[in-house]
Amino acid sequence: MPGGYTGKILRVNLTTKQVSTIPTEKYVEFGGGHGIGSAVFFDLVGDQLPFDAFDPRNLIIMMASPFSGTFMPGSGRCEVQGLGPMLYPIEWFGHSNFGGRFTAQMKFAGWDGIVVEGASDSPVYIDVINDQVKIEDATNGVWGMDTWDAQQEISRRAVPGLKQGEWAELAQNCFTTQIPAVVACGPAGERKSRLGALLHGPGSQAALCGFGGVFGSKNLKAISFLGTGSVPIADPKAFMDARLWFRQFQWDVDNPRDAEIFEGGGYSLINGAPSGGNVTNGGPNRVPARAAACASCPRGCKMRLATGDSNEAVCAGTMVANVGGGGMFAAFGRKPDPNAMPTALSQKLTRQANDLMHRYGLGHWQVMATRGYIEALVREGVIGKGKQIDFELPPAGSFAYHETMFRTIALREGPLGALAAEGAARMAEKLGRYQKDVSSGMLRLTYYGTQEHYDSATQVEWGYGSILGERDLMLHQMANYPLHWMAQSGNPYLDAEQASKLYAEAMVPYEDDRYLVDYGEGPTGIYSDSKVKQVAWVKHYEKFWIGAGGFCGWRWPQCITNNTADRRGATPHAEPRFWNAVTGQNKTFADYMELGHKIFTLDRAIWALQGRTRDMEVFPDYVYDQESRGSVQPMVVDGKWTYATGQGRKLDRAKVEDWKTRFYKFEGYNPATGIATRETLEKMGMKKVADTLEKRGKLG
């Protein structure tokens, strides 16, 4: 086996209670993480599709990467895959991921991943300590717990007498100071809510796709790993040399570059400094806190607060609730109001309300969409005392409002809870309003039941990348953080021409195209062949480096950075340098990007077996019919690079369809269907996939 792998994947059948292994070597060609997960899913159940996400045949696949358990910067994510009950109208084969220390402990225990199939006849959890795998009874107190209590109770049961920081004996002559790494569903998942998330630690969510609900459908409360082994590295010296070289791209906490520009304000999320991810703890009322990090990450974007609330939650995980105005960036620019809730109290209650969401096991990103839809229906008189949905919520913006909202959804309480637990898309469908509300933009479920993240008419790589996938792209470091937020700050460290040049040079193998990040409407802009290449690059990077490599989308790719003198980022040099050192392989960045192309193509083959066609890969009407709010990006306007917003723009249906045709051809897919041809699949070494598609009448 190459370095970075343990050599085996754990397979647990909850129906038969059988435990077995899958040799990792069979799937090494797919890299790790998402790549191996997709290949395993196709092999085990691909020919049985379509079936529903709550069908026992559905798999929960949780995969590590070769980097997991090493000191590779920003690679501590765990990929979760299976059919996603949140997605709409078809429960697509989907993915989510979460950070923390789960994959590190999985690898230390000797496993490259876990595949869970079937469904238990009573609640259970899976406990893994090194090579000892147990399916434990969860009916005696664990089932019914919230995500925090469940993790702590399972840890106590796994290692009786465990005291944090002290040595514990796991077996004869086998000791550890570590506590188990547990991922659990909450009460929402137990009740098969499509908004059910998986939670690891106090705030690391696999928030998208509804995998908490899949856990619930399998009567699976949690999975726990604890290990005392290590991860083999092919060339330890090359790996450490790469780490030392990489330091130049890091925020220097002792002597930050251009601190007067980059500390705080608009750069606080994107400068690479520690603790920037919790947006409810800032300003003059900031609670004392220290940085917290996922395994192997030198940034530490999370916080652990002295008050113990909002620990390790970041971004959307701290933004769903907003009590008394204490939400995102509440401390900045607030005008004095003698009647308002004091800012310190407002921020504290906001953090505590968001903690309730985590404890109930609700996925933050889609809870935001569902809550927003509920609020719109309240304004329209659909929800309220004596209304169509007879339910009265406490005053909006209060702690009681958020507590009631989260409890009602998680526990499926009353008529509102029964509807909202299905997620905004199916809630609208059951009310007979889906087509009207989504087409009008009242309910902005832009990509397969997941809500619009950034403006599809201007940040088009996000929009295109999402409809060509199965859900919200969630790849912030591609262009959103480095380009949009840099310009949005009002003090960009690169002008548009400089930024676009450095981006193009980093985007191997398309580095010869100068217009890869042109977001204008001209001949080199959003409908151009340059944009075809950019979106292909995004999808291939997403599938290999983010998905198969376990990379964090807040850290990678790094085409530009504020932390170097010339503003060049670590991409495309860091990724293959680290991968080759760990695995012992000797491939280029372009080689690995082509593997990302292969994984993307395999995912699309699975979607084809579920019924995906080109006609489904479209935006809702409002994206074409309504003027864009705009989003500042680099654009070529009148032949010159500049930062512009594109405000007032509408996507052109015909031009989008023409762009899709060229994209499909570029990727080796049949432009009439968007599905890979036999020639493409066989060239990628996936003849078996081509044969299955042909047998089912789905080959491109």
With CA atoms as reference, report the closest residue to 24 among 39, 13, 12.
39
Asked if 51 and 57 count as a contact pair (C-beta separation under 8 A), the reply is: yes
Residue in the block written with tokens 């985590």: 358
- pLDDT for 592 beyond 70: yes
Asked if 559 and 517 count as a contact pair (C-beta separation under 8 A), the reply is: no
Q: Find the DSSP H helices in 527-620.
A: 529-541, 574-583, 589-610
Cα 615 to Cα 150: distance, rounded to the nearest angstrom: 43
* Cis amide bond preceding 23, omega within 30: no
Sign of the Cα pseudo-torsion (511, 512, 516, 517, in order): positive
With CA atoms as reference, report the closest residue to 526 among 332, 656, 355.
656
Cα 39 to Cα 34: distance, rounded to the nearest angstrom: 9
- pLDDT for 478 beyond 50: yes
Cα 200 to Cα 525: distance, rounded to the nearest angstrom: 41
Reduce the DSSP state of residue 641 to 3 states and report it: strand
DSSP per-residue string spanning 267-287: GTTTS--TTTT-TTS-GGGPP
The Cα diameter of the chain in Å comes to 74
Confidence band, pLDDT 50/70/90 cuts, at residue 239: very high
Task: Point out which residues pair with 133 in neighbouring strands.
Answer: 128
Asked if 1 and 25 count as a contact pair (C-beta separation under 8 A), the reply is: yes
Phi-psi region of 60 (alpha: psi -120 to 50; beta: other; left: phi over 0): beta
- If one counts every other C-beta atom within 10 angstroms of the C-beta of residue 329, the result is 16
Confidence band, pLDDT 50/70/90 cuts, at residue 336: low
State the average pLDDT over residues 110-115: 99
Asked if 476 and 554 count as a contact pair (C-beta separation under 8 A), the reply is: yes
Summarised one tens digit per residue, pLDDT across range 337-381 is 666 788 888 889 999 999 999 999 999 999 999 999 999 999 999
Summarised one tens digit per residue, pLDDT across range 404-430 is 999 999 999 999 999 999 999 999 999
Q: Which two tokens stand for residue 103?
A: 């994959």
What pLDDT, on a 0 to 100 scale, did the predictor assign at position 169?
85
Convert 636-675 to b/e letters by CB count within 10 Å (16 or more is b). bbeeebebbbbeebebeeeebeebbeebbeebbbbeebbb
Reduce the DSSP state of residue 22 to 3 states and report it: strand
Asked if 578 and 644 count as a contact pair (C-beta separation under 8 A), the reply is: no
Confidence band, pLDDT 50/70/90 cuts, at residue 222: very high
Asked if 296 and 70 count as a contact pair (C-beta separation under 8 A), the reply is: yes
How many percent of the chain have pLDDT more than 90? 85
Cα 105 to Cα 6: distance, rounded to the nearest angstrom: 12
* Cis amide bond preceding 509, omega within 30: yes
State the average pLDDT over residues 187-209: 97
State the average pLDDT over residues 66-78: 95
What pLDDT, on a 0 to 100 scale, did the predictor assign at position 331?
46
- pLDDT for 65 beyond 50: yes
Summarised one tens digit per residue, pLDDT across range 493-514 is 999 999 999 999 999 999 999 9
Domain with CATH 3.60.9.10 in the chain: 8-226
- pLDDT for 332 beyond 60: no
What pLDDT, on a 0 to 100 scale, did the predictor assign at position 339?
66
What pLDDT, on a 0 to 100 scale, did the predictor assign at position 162?
78
Residue in the block written with tokens 């994209």: 663
Domain with CATH 1.10.569.10 in the chain: 274-440
Phi and psi dihedrals of 101, rounded to 5? -125, 15
- pLDDT for 487 beyond 70: yes
Beta pairing, strands 8-13 & 113-117: parallel
Is pTM beyond 0.85? Reply is yes
Confidence band, pLDDT 50/70/90 cuts, at residue 168: confident
Residue in the block written with tokens 């971004």: 315
- pLDDT for 334 beyond 70: no
Average pLDDT, the chain: 95
Reduce the DSSP state of residue 45 to 3 states and report it: helix
Cα 258 to Cα 243: distance, rounded to the nearest angstrom: 23
Confidence band, pLDDT 50/70/90 cuts, at residue 1: confident
State the average pLDDT over residues 275-302: 86
What pLDDT, on a 0 to 100 scale, did the predictor assign at position 333?
46
Torsion of CA 334, 337, 338, 344, to 10 degrees: -30
Rounded alpha-carbon distances, angstroms, from residue 500 to 267, 330, 436, 459, 529: 19, 33, 39, 14, 16
Summarised one tens digit per residue, pLDDT across range 125-151 is 999 999 999 999 999 999 999 999 999
CATH no. of 274-440: 1.10.569.10
What pLDDT, on a 0 to 100 scale, did the predictor assign at position 337?
60
What pLDDT, on a 0 to 100 scale, did the predictor assign at position 264?
74
* Cis amide bond preceding 394, omega within 30: no
- pLDDT for 329 beyond 60: no
Q: How far apart are the first and last CA of the chain?
A: 35
Q: Which two tokens stand for residue 395?
A: 């005053």
Q: Give ∠ CA 188-281-420 in degrees, rounded to 5.
A: 20
Which residue did the predictor score with more confidence, 353 or 336?
353
Task: Point out which residues pair with 225 in neighbouring strands.
Answer: 128, 181
Cα 70 to Cα 107: distance, rounded to the nearest angstrom: 9
What pLDDT, on a 0 to 100 scale, did the predictor assign at position 385?
95
Domain 8-226 has CATH 3.40.1160.10: no
State the average pLDDT over residues 237-253: 96
Residues written for the chain: 700
Lowest-confidence segment of 95-109, 154-168, 262-276 by average pLDDT: 262-276
Q: Which residues contact 259 (CB under 8 A, 6 or more apart)?
A: none
What pLDDT, on a 0 to 100 scale, did the predictor assign at position 164?
76
Give 378-406 as a 3 state SS string: HHCCCEECCCCEECCCCCCCCHHHHHHHH
Task: Point out which residues pair with 8 in neighbouring strands.
Answer: 23
State the average pLDDT over residues 533-553: 97
Task: Point out which residues pair with 57 in neighbouring strands.
Answer: none
Confidence band, pLDDT 50/70/90 cuts, at residue 692: very high
Domain 471-695 has CATH 1.10.599.10: yes
Rounded alpha-carbon distances, angstroms, from residue 460 to 35, 315, 488: 25, 22, 17
Which residue did the predictor score with more confidence, 57 or 289?
57
- pLDDT for 469 beyond 60: yes
Domain with CATH 1.10.599.10 in the chain: 471-695
What pLDDT, on a 0 to 100 scale, did the predictor assign at position 387?
97
Summarised one tens digit per residue, pLDDT across range 611-667 is 999 999 999 999 999 999 999 999 999 999 999 999 999 999 999 999 999 999 999
